[in-house]
Structures are given as structure tokens and as C-alpha cells.
Chains A and B, each alone.
Chain A
Amino acid sequence: MRRVVITGIGAVTPAGGTAGDTWANVAAGRTAIGQIENLRPWPLATQIAAQVKQFEVTEHINAKQANMMDRVSQFTVVAAREAWADSGLVMTEELAELAQVIVGVGVGGMVTLDDSFHRLYFDQNPRCHPFTIPRLMPSAPASQVSMDLGLKGMTFVVASACASGTHAIGLAFRAIRSGDTDFAMTGGAEACVTVGTLRGWEALRVLALDTCRPFSKDRSGLVLGEGSAMLVLEELEHARSRGARIYAEIVGFGANADAGDLTSPDAQSVCRAMQRALSDGRLSPADVGYVNAHGTGTLMNDLVESTAIKSVFDNCEKPLVSSIKGVVGHTLGAAGAIEAMVTALALKHGLVPPTANHSEVDPAIELDVVPNTAREIAITAALSNSFAFGGLNAVLALRRFSTAAA
């Protein structure tokens, strides 16, 4: 069977402007959640978010090109450029024709939408900027990456709310494994820290007011984040033939739907998604040393997810489980991609990142959630979980790269 490896990574996240800085802060459990800045002044109960601060787009992209993009596309293009450079791939006409771009996006160009509607309805200015539509279309991040890097394979955006990044990587993985292509630039992106979006999340009554504390007994909800992570996926023999650095192997993808409640996850369904990822990757539960949890920090998600994990690993040693959302917040469409990247780095470095902001053991969780301090431990395989509103579950199975056949 054709094997798929990660040979390049790039990220713009609240925890850092590169993949390396993001990993360092995630591994240190240093939270990037803070006072919201640069927001249109408007009454909000929420005062905190995990924002990408000190992002000066023109340091990366020339002003004319950046002007065509919403913030969500700017993040994606900067992350994709880093991943491309990191992969060491040299562009050829054949590579360009084959390389697919698949990006997960939760809501798309919300900054553009917020600005445009404010101008239209509030300022009573009937004139819209001519780039309004190309900036805000949900598919823009994938299009912009394709144009920026000259990648001409099948290119599109996947939308499955909080699971978008994981679905995107899962589809790119399948495209390579099935022989449809040898390369993909894939990941996720989101930039929706706007008044309108925050108001909407407040109305759902799930936002934490102090900080995000996944799996902690005193957890009080999620905190919105923003950012992007992009990965270069490559067919193993191709990567080997050019001596590429390999971060980790992606071996399985499991996705399903609850077909039940709009917002409450279903433990059995979530459990089946994890089992699908394992069987797709020809892994047994005992192979898995780490689960990068969806771990939003809401009462319900963390309880249901831990129940599902305990059920999947019922007959073997329980894996370590951690959520990085205490550091980077819930970056929605980007979350699955940032987390897959972090999971790959955990496998490569033998270091499990901690669950930050953990202050009190919740006896109902009954798992080692790696509170506050990273754990050095060699892991063979890991899962990266994403569970979205609408009951859309997606799980990636990754393996530490070894030359032996999987």
C-alpha cells in the first residue's frame, strides 16, 4: 500500500508566527489567551480570545497581493509558504500539476463580512469594496495558496465547522494513498475574532470568561482563537527518493456523523470515529500512546470525549490525552490542522504537550490529561480528534515514522 508522510509544516497561530514557535509554546503550555485587541468598539461580555498578535501581513506578502485577501487567507498563505519551504520540494511542472490544495475552513472571511456590513448598515455607506466577494468566499484560502505557490492540482475548501482542518487533511491523505496524487498542501484556517462572531458565540452561552481549562474540574467553556496550520503531505517513496525530512506518517482517517443532536456530541458515535481511524491505519488500540483531544473546555465535550476514549481503550493501557486549546484557544477550522501538526511533532520529538491551565482534577474524566507540564515519552502512534457542531466527527491516526512497513 502507498504510504503518506508529512514532509513540511507551517503555522501562524496565537502561540507563534511559525510552526517552530507554535510548537515551543504549546510544549511549554504557555497560554496565548489574553485580552482582545484591535476589535471594533462594541459592548461584549467576552473580553478574551486567543488572537494572532503582532501579525504584520506585509512582512510576508506584498501589499497589493495581501489586499486581495481576508485575514483568514493571509494566515493560510503565510503558513503554506513556510510549509512549502520547509519541505524542500523543488517546483517542477509535473509537481505543480499534481499538487492538490485542500484547506479546512469553519466560517471563512468574517473580518471582511463584519467590515463590509458595518460600513453598509451602520455607516450607511452604500458602496462596497470591489474585493468584498473574492475576499470573503469560503474557498478563498485554498485559491490564494494555489495561486501563491503555483499549485495546480484539485483545489478546494472543506467546511465541517470545528472538524474542518481534520477532514481536509484526511481527504488529502486519502488522495495520496489512493494514487490520485503524490503531493498535497493541506491544513486549516480561521480568522473570526470579530464583534459579530463573538456575539454569536456568546449567545450560545458556551464561552469561558476567564480562560480555557480543558478537562479541569473548574472548566467553564471555550475561548475563540484564530490562525492556520498547513502541512505538505507526500507519498513516501517520493519523499525518500529526494531525502526529505519526515515528521510523521499519517496512517488512518476515520470520519462519521452522529445524525443526532446539533450541538451535543454522542459518545458512541465519537468512539466509532476513533475506531475507524485505528482500523483504517491497521493499528490496535494498544499501539496508541497519545490522543490529542478535541478538548474544548466545555463541560459536555470533555466529559463525552473522555467517556469515548475510555471505551476505545477499554482493554489496554490508557493513552496519554491532552488538549492544546488552553494555549491556542478554539481555532475552529484551523484547530484540526494545528493539532495534527502538534501530534506529528509529539511523535517525532517523543514529547507529549500538556493540557495548559489545568487547575483541578475532575474525577469524572479518569484519564491522564498531562496537566500543565509536557511529558517525555516515546510514542509509536497517536490519534488527533475533532468533533464538530452538527455531529461531524473526524479523527486522524498518525505513526512515528520508521522505515519498516506499517
Chain B
Amino acid sequence: MSVQEQVKVIIAKQLDIDPSTLEETTDLQEAGFESLDVVEMIFNLEDAFNINIPFNANETDTSQMKTVGDIVRLVETIQAGAVPKAGNKPAGQTPDEPSA
């Protein structure tokens, strides 16, 4: 299975939908992702691909993690050894991170 197919399977399982309904351009939030889904997806991706994704809900810029295609690129970038730098997030938050 390609990275894209595996990513689709992981996301589809979390959303309880058929992987074939996901496109590269599918927006995760529009598809039904809620606050903890991003964190759970990261966990599942790390398990499936045996990688470490540097993600802190307080710091990581999620603007590049909006679509299925974004996630595929994230995994491929990390697999290639170039870990994207976690940047500070601009004001105006997305509602997809836990806050305790």
C-alpha cells in the first residue's frame, strides 16, 4: 500500500467512513475531525509508519495539516528525514486542539 493509501485508511477509520471517499484535497475538519482527532491521527501515523512526528498542540503550525494531501506530504517528508520545523502558531486558533 502506498503512503497515501495508508494515510487514507487511518483517517477513514477514525471518521468511520470508506477510505475511497477521501480525496487528496479532502479537508479534515470538513470531513468531521474534532478536537482530539488530530492528536489521535498523529499517534496512529507514528505507529503505522514507525516515525516521530513533532507535534505540540500549543506550538505546531497546523496550517499545513489541513487536507489528506497535507498529511501524506508530512509523512513522506519525515520518512525522507527532513523533519518540518515546528513554528509558533499565529493568533486566531483552530478549534482542534486540547486545552486542559
Q: Hey, which bits of chain A sit against chain B, CB under 8 A?
A: 162, 203-209, 218-222, 261-265, 296, 298-301, 303-304, 330, 362-364, 389
Question: A309 to nearest B CB, angstroms?
Answer: 15
- B21 proximal to A (CB < 8 A): no
Q: A299-B89, A299-B93 are in contact. Are A205 and B57 (CB under 8 A)?
A: yes
- B17 proximal to A (CB < 8 A): no
B contact residues, range: 20 to 34
- B20 proximal to A (CB < 8 A): no
> Which B-chain residue is minimally distant from A365 (CB atoms)?
B91
User: Is A300's CB under 8 angstroms from B59's CB?
Assistant: no
Which residues in B have their C-beta under 8 angstroms from that of A204? 36, 39, 57, 98, 100
Most buried by B among A261, A263, A303: A263
User: Is A221's CB under 8 angstroms from B56's CB?
Assistant: yes
User: Is B99's CB under 8 angstroms from A300's CB?
Assistant: yes
Most buried by A among B39, B43, B97: B97
Which residues in B have their C-beta under 8 angstroms from that of A209? 56
Most buried by A among B34, B43, B58: B58
Which residues in A have their C-beta under 8 angstroms from that of B49? none
- B64 proximal to A (CB < 8 A): no
User: Is A389's CB under 8 angstroms from B88's CB?
Assistant: no
Most buried by A among B55, B89, B91, B99: B99
Which residues of B51-82 have CB atoms within 8 Å of chain A's CB atoms? 55-59
Which residues in A have their C-beta under 8 angstroms from that of B89? 299
Which of B42, B59, B100 makes the CB contact (< 8 A) with A263?
B100
- B84 proximal to A (CB < 8 A): no
User: Is A220's CB under 8 angstroms from B100's CB?
Assistant: no
Question: A331 to nearest B CB, angstroms?
Answer: 12
Which residues in A have their C-beta under 8 angstroms from that of B55? 205
Q: A205-B56, A218-B88, A303-B93 are in contact. Are A296 and B39 (CB under 8 A)?
A: no
Which residues in B have their C-beta under 8 angstroms from that of A218? 88
Which residues in A have their C-beta under 8 angstroms from that of B93? 299-300, 303
Task: Give the top 5 A-B pairs by smallest Cβ distance, nearest first.
Answer: A263-B98, A300-B99, A301-B99, A221-B58, A264-B35
Summarize B's interface: helix, strand, loop or mixed: loop
Which residues in B have their C-beta under 8 angstroms from that of A389? 98, 100
User: Is B35's CB under 8 angstroms from A363's CB?
Assistant: no
For this complex, 16 residue pairs linking A to B, each with C-beta atoms less than 8 Å apart, are A205-B39, A205-B42, A205-B55, A205-B98, A206-B56, A206-B98, A206-B99, A219-B58, A221-B56, A264-B35, A264-B96, A298-B97, A299-B58, A299-B93, A330-B100, A389-B98
Q: A299-B97, A301-B99, A303-B93 are in contact. Are A262 and B58 (CB under 8 A)?
A: no
User: Is B100's CB under 8 angstroms from A264's CB?
Assistant: no
- B87 proximal to A (CB < 8 A): no
Which of B35, B42, B57, B91 makes the CB contact (< 8 A) with A262?
B35
User: Is B88's CB under 8 angstroms from A298's CB?
Assistant: no
User: Is A220's CB under 8 angstroms from B39's CB?
Assistant: no
User: Is B99's CB under 8 angstroms from A299's CB?
Assistant: yes
User: Is A298's CB under 8 angstroms from B58's CB?
Assistant: yes
Which residues in A have their C-beta under 8 angstroms from that of B97? 205-206, 263-264, 298-300
Which residues in B have their C-beta under 8 angstroms from that of A362? 91
> Which B-chain residue is minimally distant from A304 (CB atoms)?
B99
> Which B-chain residue is minimally distant from A265 (CB atoms)?
B99
- B95 proximal to A (CB < 8 A): yes
Given contacts A162-B100, A220-B58, A299-B97, 11 further A-B contacts (CB under 8 A): A205-B57, A207-B56, A219-B58, A221-B57, A221-B58, A261-B35, A264-B99, A296-B99, A296-B100, A298-B97, A363-B91
> Which A-chain residue is minimally distant from B40 (CB atoms)?
A203
Determine the distance from Cα of A207 to Cα of B95 in the docked complex, in whole angstroms. Answer: 18
Which residues in A have their C-beta under 8 angstroms from that of B58? 205-206, 208, 219-221, 298-299
Which residues in A have their C-beta under 8 angstroms from that of B99? 206, 263-265, 296, 298-301, 304
Determine the distance from Cα of A202 to Cα of B100 in the docked complex, in whole angstroms. Answer: 13
Which residues in B have their C-beta under 8 angstroms from that of A206? 56-58, 97-100
User: Is A220's CB under 8 angstroms from B98's CB?
Assistant: no
User: Is B56's CB under 8 angstroms from A220's CB?
Assistant: yes
